[in-house]
Structure 1
Amino acid sequence: MKQSHYRALLELGLPIVVGQIGVIILGFADTLMVGHHSSNELAAASFVNNMFTLAIIFSTGFSYGLTPVVGSLFGQGKKEEAGNALKNSLAANTLLAVIVCMVMFALYQNIGRLGQPEELLPFMRPYYLVLLVSLPFVLWFNGFKQFTDGITDTKVSMWILLGGNLLNIVGNYILIYGKLGMPEMGLTGAGVSTLVSRILMVLAYLALFFGTSRYDVFKRGFHRGKVNRKDFMLLNKLGLPIAGQMGMETASFSLSAIMVGWLGSTELAAHQVMIAVSQVCFMMYYGMGAAVSVRISNFYGQKDITSVKQIANNGFHLMLCLLVLTCIPIFCLRHYIGGWFTDDAAVSVMVVQLIIPFLIYQFGDGLQINFANALRGIADVRPMMWCSFIAYFIISLPAGYLFAFVCGWGITGIWMAFPFGLTSAGIMYYLRFRYKTKKGV
């Protein structure tokens, strides 16, 4: 039985991991191209990307509310109802897109009051606005992605992500450096390329879902069903706590970026390099975690609690394997990583200093991703918000300020706080999952 869960998790998770590798490569390419164009633009990208990462992760977390619903319906063979759930999810994501864009625009209006280096503001503002326009397309893409993942069709999102990110990388090269007759746009060009690729990925999903026979049974449910209060509220009931949990986790990194900005442009550039590196591990864990959530939701719909517990444990074993596969090469290459992204020697030296706290928190990151997804699979999401608040706002952020400014450790102190937050969150999620499955959910 255990072997079959390992195999099934790999079959579900590897396409998601491969799709996320495309996102990783894009993040590396973005940082490499921008960093070699200008270190000031690299620092500006660090701040803006951290702000938008918070918005995107919050929105992605909200869309996760669809996964246990679709996964459970699919496990019970209710495919038309799953199609109606997608319709309600897209409506909910559209409403959230309006709200998130309003909040992000208000933040844009006050960007000069956040204590960032004055010389970076001319780079930050246009890049910020272009990314703001692209936000609704992120939410619509997430709605379709969580639907196809929930029905175990994970290869679709893999191919769309890979294609979209490849186009984004090519667009970056053309627009950042002004190739093929295009103007040299620098950091703003990276934003325009991101906007175009996000639009095209949504159009690809629309063409696939509505223009082919692949999803006919789900399409019938989509067309016949209506946006109704019951399903709409259920998706909000599940999605908002997940969004809150993921948003608070990401906020600990985004607010830390503000503190890093207080230290200076060099620290902010080093922080951006390390964020790009950390995404390598996070995205791979995320792919396997998504498979855990989907697989658990399928068996939860069948009320097979024994398999639910086995899947969570097997998923964590696979997570540990991914941890080893990613951390060993990163440690071995620690003296070279900074030079890949920038010619600034001071930034490269600072990157080496941040590798150790980065490696320390990988266990906690894998633990919290695995058991957060296990809880999502059984639709037990509300307690995760409180666990996240304690882990990130009571433990991680105050520790970062203490280590960096009171103890005088600078940016290394900010990064030393991350292991405390992520590991404490992982332990709390694990204990909650064990408690719920011991009770029989």
Structure 2
Amino acid sequence: MLFPAFTDAARLRRELRETFSLATPLMLGQLSAMLMPFIDTVLAGHLGASTLAAVAVGSQIWSFAMMFLIGTMLALPPTVAQLDGAGRRASIGAVFRQALWLALALGLFAAFAVRQSEPLLRAIGVDATVLPQALEFLRAISFGAPALAIYFALRGMSEGIRRPRPTLYFGLFGVSLLLPLAWALMYGRLGMPALGARGSGIATAIVLWLQALAFLLYVVTRRHYRDLQLFAHFEWPVLAQISVLLRLGLPMGASILMEGGLFVATALLIGSLGATAMAGHQIALNVASLTFMLPLGLAMATTIRVGNAVGRNDYSGVRYAGFVSIALTLGSQVVSALLMWLLRMPIAHLYSDDVQVIALASQLLLLAAIFQFSDGIQVVANGALRGLKDTRVPMLLTLLAYWIIGMPLGYLLGFHYGYGPRGLWVGLIAGLGMAAILLFTRFYRLAMNNSWRTLAPAPHSSTQT
């Protein structure tokens, strides 16, 4: 039996309603956030395969920085959710202030690392016609790294207290700004110089800072956050408190890096096969990333719902929150897979006019349709485990799935057996499939045996069974 039997129909309906209420703004917010690289990709595609490949390669390196920042800052939502569930909202402000210091430090480190990426790009053999533009893109976008980290600290705090709508508001805000700004800077419109890939990086960095500042202003002025006293007084960094966040966040960051790194490494390897291969891969990956925002939004909601249940010491609440979200994810992924299968050619035409690029992209979209189910299950199961503050074992499980199974198989098929991009995508399918099995099994055992209390002891002692 895949899921435990839920005999309380009223509670099941309530869980579905509350999960939908929390997840819908998060899903829409994630979709709006993904429209930013979508905009960059489409605009670059119509400047030629070389510019598209440069933005694609640069975006993969930038993705490493984003995954590191986002993954580490994911320590905040379950921490805040457990405090909120336990009725300890007065403690949230102190945690948040330390999270801001952590975000600033991580953002500056990420910006420096992104700017030092030329040796890596040369080592993996990125095409010489693509490399200069990719480096210009990375140097420009790196200035947005601190803003991105601060933005996710604000998001984590807001989502942890079950206020997910700002994620949607500021996601749409970013998209509405990026489209005209990137168009002007990339194409040389509205009196701007035509900067191509560099213009894309500049536009994104500017928008990231505007999003962070707007979110900060929102939090300061809205009444929903006043009782938290987020900015009641100034605090210097407290290493003991920051280390608690790091002990929780670094394994999360490592897990996300290992998953995302599988995709990034695949893209960089495909980049060595030429601009056409990279462009076709980028189209298929961009579409898969858009559909991934639906289960990712559900995963974020699951973290909060599970974290709240942990704070209440609610055993059955943990099970309902986790398994209902996984079931919902299976439904959403059926729709995504069908759309990729049936509309693969029109989707590819939307991105490019190059016949060879369209042909490859449509083939890869078929493979992307296959891994929709495993990709959805693994991300939501991981979200449920984050709500339990179970981070170290999932990190090891993702290492096994992605880098001991997925990447070696993809490399073998892609280069040794000559299947190229298609072989590397089979490796993605294998890695995601194994991760889905392992992470779901981990959550199932913890939830059904009530053994999660040894991982994340609740702040009070009342227990519901």
Tell me if the contact between 1:400 and 1:414 (Cα under 8 Å) persists in the aligned partners. yes
Select which of 154, 165, 183 maps to 1:155: 165
Residue in 1 that maps onto 2:335: 325
> Is 1:278 paired with 2:284?
no
SS in 2 for 1:432: helix
- Equivalent residue runs for 1:337-416 within 5 Å: 337-416=347-426
- Which residue type is aligned with residue 168 of structure 1? L
Residue in 2 that maps onto 1:143: 153
SS in 2 for 1:144: helix
Tell me how far apart the structure 2 counterparts of residues 109 and 413 of structure 1 sit (CA, whole Å): 26
Select which of 294, 318, 321 maps to 1:311: 321
Tell me how far apart the structure 2 counterparts of residues 402 and 357 of structure 1 sit (CA, whole Å): 17
1:109 CA drift (Å): 4.7
1:319 CA drift (Å): 0.7
Tell me how far apart the structure 2 counterparts of residues 289 and 40 of structure 1 sit (CA, whole Å): 36
- Which residue type is aligned with residue 409 of structure 1? Y
SS in 2 for 1:118: coil
Change (3 A) 1:195 1:119: same
Tell me if the contact between 1:210 and 1:219 (Cα under 8 Å) persists in the aligned partners. no
- Equivalent residue runs for 1:232-243 within 5 Å: 232-243=242-253
- Equivalent residue runs for 1:3-82 within 5 Å: 3-82=13-92
1:325 CA drift (Å): 2.3
- Which residue type is aligned with residue 333 of structure 1? L
CA deviation digits over 1:251-310, x for unaligned, max 9? 111111121022111101111111110111211111111001101101110010111111
Residue in 2 that maps onto 1:256: 266
> Is 1:217 paired with 2:227?
yes
Residue in 2 that maps onto 1:417: 427
Select which of 73, 92, 107 maps to 2:102: 92
- Which residue type is aligned with residue 267 of structure 1? A
> Is 1:293 paired with 2:303?
yes
The unaligned stretches of length 5 or more in structure 2 are 1-10, 453-465
Residue in 2 that maps onto 1:103: 113
> Is 1:166 paired with 2:176?
yes
Tell me how far apart the structure 2 counterparts of residues 303 and 99 of structure 1 sit (CA, whole Å): 38
SS in 1 for 2:418: coil
Q: Select the structure with the greater relative contact order (CA < 8 A; seq sep ≥ 6).
A: 1
SS in 2 for 1:408: coil
SS in 1 for 2:114: helix
1:226 CA drift (Å): 6.1
Tell me how far apart the structure 1 counterparts of residues 234 and 309 of structure 2 sit (CA, whole Å): 27
Tell me how far apart the structure 1 counterparts of residues 216 and 277 of structure 2 sit (CA, whole Å): 42
Tell me how far apart the structure 2 counterparts of residues 331 and 199 of structure 1 sit (CA, whole Å): 37
- Equivalent residue runs for 1:120-131 within 5 Å: 120-131=130-141
Tell me how far apart the structure 2 counterparts of residues 304 and 200 of structure 1 sit (CA, whole Å): 40
Count residues in correspondence.
441
Tell me if the contact between 1:64 and 1:146 (Cα under 8 Å) persists in the aligned partners. yes
Tell me how far apart the structure 2 counterparts of residues 359 and 130 of structure 1 sit (CA, whole Å): 34
- Which residue type is aligned with residue 185 of structure 1? L
Tell me if the contact between 1:84 and 1:221 (Cα under 8 Å) persists in the aligned partners. no
Tell me how far apart the structure 1 counterparts of residues 44 and 159 of structure 2 sit (CA, whole Å): 33
1:435 CA drift (Å): 2.0
Tell me how far apart the structure 1 counterparts of residues 32 and 76 of structure 2 sit (CA, whole Å): 23
Tell me how far apart the structure 1 counterparts of residues 24 and 135 of structure 2 sit (CA, whole Å): 37
- Which residue type is aligned with residue 403 of structure 2? F
RMSD after superposition: 1.5
Tell me if the contact between 1:249 and 1:392 (Cα under 8 Å) persists in the aligned partners. yes
Tell me how far apart the structure 2 counterparts of residues 132 and 174 of structure 1 sit (CA, whole Å): 20
TM-score by length of 2: 0.92
- Which residue type is aligned with residue 417 of structure 2? C
SS in 1 for 2:130: helix
Tell me how far apart the structure 1 counterparts of residues 260 and 34 of structure 2 sit (CA, whole Å): 17
Tell me if the contact between 1:82 and 1:221 (Cα under 8 Å) persists in the aligned partners. no
Tell me how far apart the structure 1 counterparts of residues 195 and 231 of structure 2 sit (CA, whole Å): 45
Select which of 429, 445, 462 maps to 1:435: 445
Tell me how far apart the structure 1 counterparts of residues 296 and 232 of structure 2 sit (CA, whole Å): 28
Residue in 1 that maps onto 2:7: none
Tell me how far apart the structure 2 counterparts of residues 80 and 253 of structure 1 sit (CA, whole Å): 40
Tell me how far apart the structure 1 counterparts of residues 222 and 347 of structure 2 sit (CA, whole Å): 44
Change (3 A) 1:141 1:221: closer
Residue in 2 that maps onto 1:207: 217
Tell me if the contact between 1:87 and 1:222 (Cα under 8 Å) persists in the aligned partners. no
Tell me how far apart the structure 2 counterparts of residues 342 and 220 of structure 1 sit (CA, whole Å): 47
Tell me how far apart the structure 2 counterparts of residues 239 and 92 of structure 1 sit (CA, whole Å): 11
CA deviation digits over 1:217-245, x for unaligned, max 9? 11257537664334212111110000000
Greater percentage in helix? 1
1:375 CA drift (Å): 0.3
